[in-house]
Structure 1
């Protein structure tokens, strides 16, 4: 569960309350949003230690209250005298750098990597009339302000993201509980399923909300989310949860920060902190990107899922899978197709039995699971600052605040950070890893492949391995009917009669060696989506 994959080898309804709570904690700890919090807290701790060491060695200490008590008259005074107060210079730069190129108010406006030559010239003029001692003192003040800005930015993220988690989970929980309280036929059927399987409805609502938010895709019900196939409210709320908990989290986080900045007055120092986050997002978070990368993530989500939905409607609109639904209206078919398409790239929840879908659609789903992590990973790699870059910027130096183009050329100009280079490296690594993993599983399951070729087909194994490697959790399951169909002698038929269909993943039928290998596959896939150790937010 901590890898948020969702492939299960046991029935979750067999877990007691303590076991389910343990699984929920593991899912939450492994979620992308929660993982993004860890570097923020670590950096805040490191900055705090750095500031304490600096304050100890520097008698000219400036308190944060002095930093936040600036006003516009001081700024005009600094321009006239060339001797700005300590709280003005960097805050003014963050608030007013190249106002003509500033974004117009959407949060996804022009990237802060803008032409700042006039600012650089202005800053150079600041030091023309200063003595060496005054220049050193002014630079020390600027560095202290930059450190304060970054510390306040991290402090803001440390409460924005937890609040975001609580709000989304509360929304999902209330939506599921509200749907189960209806007097409709579908709600009554779901309540009867909870009673038949001995599951507490409230606990199930919490579990499903966390599962959707963490993109695990598990459900305490044996049927996964198939009973909710006609519940539009649950499908919409779960869609908001798994998109907001993974794929669309970076754009949503940027939009939230833009909204908070808009609500602040011009003379509020916190507005400059939000400006800092919007202009230099990769200085503070692994999941906060510039506007172009945020738009690119949104475009890829729309593009990939549009392709999935079109393929689903073209191949499955009149299929037996949709014909088996209690409600076969066009709206329900479209909702189920959209929900299944959105889940393919991340969460692994299913409202349809995947084994009944057409092979061509399953091939498309396999490809989507394999590249699920690409948009966010490539955006992170493309916008990262390496440890060397930070040494050049002196970590907290205001030089990158004054000259954002220097920051851009350092990060974007390197060959290792080009999208094409990162894509080729990731694709090569994934192809090699998947080939080795599939080969080893097929070797370990050779006996089952010979005796049960339909269930243990190469495609079924490939689908399961890709699902585990992509941390998705979709599975084609295991069917006794296919085993019976493939049996050709009496002894095999007798064994087939004793077979029982199970509601857990296909990998639950694998040997112990294959299961251990699949666990390694999940862990390897989880590490694939994590930032590198030289990422600007980590190093």
Structure 2
């Protein structure tokens, strides 16, 4: 009876525990990101609502919406911000900074740096114990002192003197034996290399929990074992590389490691021993430590200079604009600068930027801040690091810094989500120039004959068009009345707001170190025989395979990855936007009956897409200076706030991203497995018979 009484509770505890685990999201980067934003907005909204003055009626729904709008960078306002008291304006000011992507990424640096410190401390302690044990044994056996061995952080001083297992010229790396429980699961082939079926068997070896909220990021496959096994030791999977099999795809890593290890695309290091992994970790640690200083300095300098510039200019040139709204001029200009850098578009002036549409300095300054804080932030940051690398003197004392900066420039996605290789950075710059150029040209062309725009002087009409092009994709400001623009231009703005995050988003995921693993392309189903190419391949067949969604290798597979990510992102976005428009249109039916023009469905779509894109441009409401959503019912405002939170997280990397994962002993498996599969795919597609120029 006692045994049965013990077993019965345990029997029902297991399924209950599994059910709870399935409902709760996993503890990872995306989950923490959501928790940070939601918790901060809830706490700030309570403080915001409780500090309202008696003569200003701010409901809790409006308080919550304003806090979410500031935190997510949407910038829409349901009431005129000039009517808020100074403390409430200060809350929004702080939330703008707390929600900045630059600041949030700085926090990731700090967490990863602490994890590196803990890992290296463990390595140093283990070496110290080993040294003490060897010294005690030597004293006991020989009765004499032994020379102490150097102990330190791997790769922290000189990367060329830290490797302990140097491979010979014929074989790349000698591998440590696998644990018995894992080795039993892996059947090796004749050449002692791991095959595709071996990796599938290892991936299926562990039990997976399917979750309601997988929090794996857009495009990731939560049904596959994408995460490396945390219990697996840090050892390579196979002993020897065939250089010819990956000819033209791999390049050596002698710049950072004195070994014959290789680097494949997206900065995947493989073929490293455990000692070489420690050295590589030391180089990454110095890179993370360097960026943990550079990124906060970047944030502080742009905010400080922007606030000083805009605050001082407004106080000296047009203090009457702020005082008309009952505001301090310097505070109003400083709020403008911060709002521009975080790409929010919030303004303490009721007229937003239309009050400054004939002033070149604020338009150019805020335009530069918009670019530096979001769309061109990766380009600005890489240019700063590249400039620092060029300025370093060519002396032995600076060798360590040169290696660190070279590693950041050569392999940026191993250390930071918003820093890309040179080629992708140029692509991003070109994409931003083209998209903004289209917006600018459309503004000028579609404003011909528009009396509300033609009244502006020609030089300022051109400058206003340039600023509006920058603001409509991310900045959120409006320099002219949006409702007065032509219908075709408004439709173009909807499309541009929808794709506002795509250039950076696609670049982040296309340069992910664990790109294949995050997409789950190594599924268990075998490829059909019809997908296998013949020995004779040509450009036409490669293009057919590419457009049919069948990946080849190298560049063709990159196109496949981009295609998969775009398709996943589109399907992810469209449901949220469609459902939000549907529910809001239902909730605002009575307003539509009373004011069919103001509450037209297109205006609702415009507002929802602007919130989801975290842009904040609004068609407004007749007779009021706040956003169109300010005239909505409370339930519609709550739906739009949820849309804004979801849209703020759509541009984040997937859960399996080297730049957001803590350093642990399982990451080597991910790179080594990907290298094995990539090699087998190359051999299957006959890439070992292709010349280098065709790769």
Shorter-chain TM-score: which interval?
0.7 to 0.9
**Structure 2 partner of 1:394:** none
Displacement after TM superposition at 1:411 (Å): 9.8
Partner of 1:295: 426
Where does residue 568 of structure 2 map in the other structure? 425
CA–CA distance in 2 between the matches of 1:450 and 1:307? 36
**Could you tell me how far 1:50 is from its partner in structure 2?**
1.1
* Partner in structure 1 of residue 665 of structure 2: none
Give the Å deviation of 1:373: 0.3
Gaps of 5+ in 1: 83-111, 126-137, 391-408, 480-500
Residue 203 (str. 1) matches residue 328 (str. 2): no
- Is 1:33 paired with 2:102? yes
* Runs of 4+ residues over 4 Å off in structure 1: 64-67, 117-122, 138-141, 387-390, 409-417
Shift of 1:63: 2.6
**Alignment gaps of 5+ in structure 2:** 1-69, 129-148, 170-247, 262-271, 519-551, 662-695
1:73-472 to structure 2, matched below 5 A, reads 115-116=251-252, 123-124=259-260, 139=273, 141-182=275-316, 187=317, 190-266=318-394, 267=396, 268=398, 269-324=400-455, 328-386=456-514, 418-472=561-615
CA distance in 2, matches of 1:309, 1:17: 36
Residues 265 and 271 in structure 1, CA contact (< 8 A), matched pair in contact too? no
2:618 counterpart SS class: coil
Aligned residue runs from structure 1 range 2-21, under 5 A: 2-21=71-90
The match for 2:630 is 508
1:57 to partner: Cα distance: 1.8
How far apart are residue 10 of structure 1 and its match?
A: 1.3
2:648 is the alignment partner of 1:526: yes
**Change in CA separation of 1:113 and 1:169 when aligned onto 2, cut-off 3 Å:** farther
Give CA deviations for 1:188-243 in whole Å, capped at 9, x if unaligned: xx422211211011111221111000000011000011111011011111011011
Q: Give the distance between the partners of 2:639 and 2:517, measured in 1 at CA.
A: 38
1:66 Cα offset (Å): 8.7
Tell me how far 1:532 sits from its aligned partner: 2.0
Query: Over alpha carbons, which structure has the higher Rg?
Result: 2
Q: TM-score normalised to the size of structure 1? A: 0.77
Specify whether residues 238 and 415 from structure 1 end up closer, same or farther in structure 2 by C-alpha distance, changes over 3 A only.
closer
Q: CA deviation at 1:119?
A: 8.4
RMSD: 3.0
Aligned to 2:620: 477
Structure 2: how far apart are the matches of 1:242 and 1:66? 38
Aligned residues: 445
* Change over 3 Å in CA distance of 1:124–1:536 after alignment to 2: closer
- Give deviations 1:473-502, integer Å, cap 9, x for gaps: 0111111xxxxxxxxxxxxxxxxxxxxx22
CA displacement at 1:178 relative to structure 2: 4.0
Cα distance in 1 between the residues matched to 2:574 and 2:118: 43
Offset, 1:124: 4.5
Equivalents in 2 of 1:516, 1:42: separation in Å?
32
Q: Residues of 1 paired with 2:389 and 2:501: CA distance?
A: 30
| Structure 2 CA distance for partners of 1:31 and 1:149, relative to 1, 3 Å | same
Q: For the residues of structure 2 that align with 1:191 and 1:228, how far apart are their CA atoms?
A: 12
Kindly state the Cα deviation for residue 58 of structure 1 after the two structures are TM-superposed: 2.2
For the residue of structure 2 that corresponds to 1:345, the secondary structure is helix
Residue in structure 1 matched with residue 116 of structure 2 by the alignment: 47
* Preserved contact between residue 171 and residue 237 of structure 1 (Cα < 8 Å): no
- Whole-Å separation in 2 of the counterparts to 1:320 and 1:533: 50
Label 1:381 to 1:388 Cα distance change in 2 as closer, same or farther (>3 A).
Answer: closer
Per-residue CA distance 1:320-346 (angstroms, 9 max, x = gap)? 22234xxx3321110000100111110
Q: What TM-score, normalized to structure 2?
A: 0.60
Bigger helix share:
1
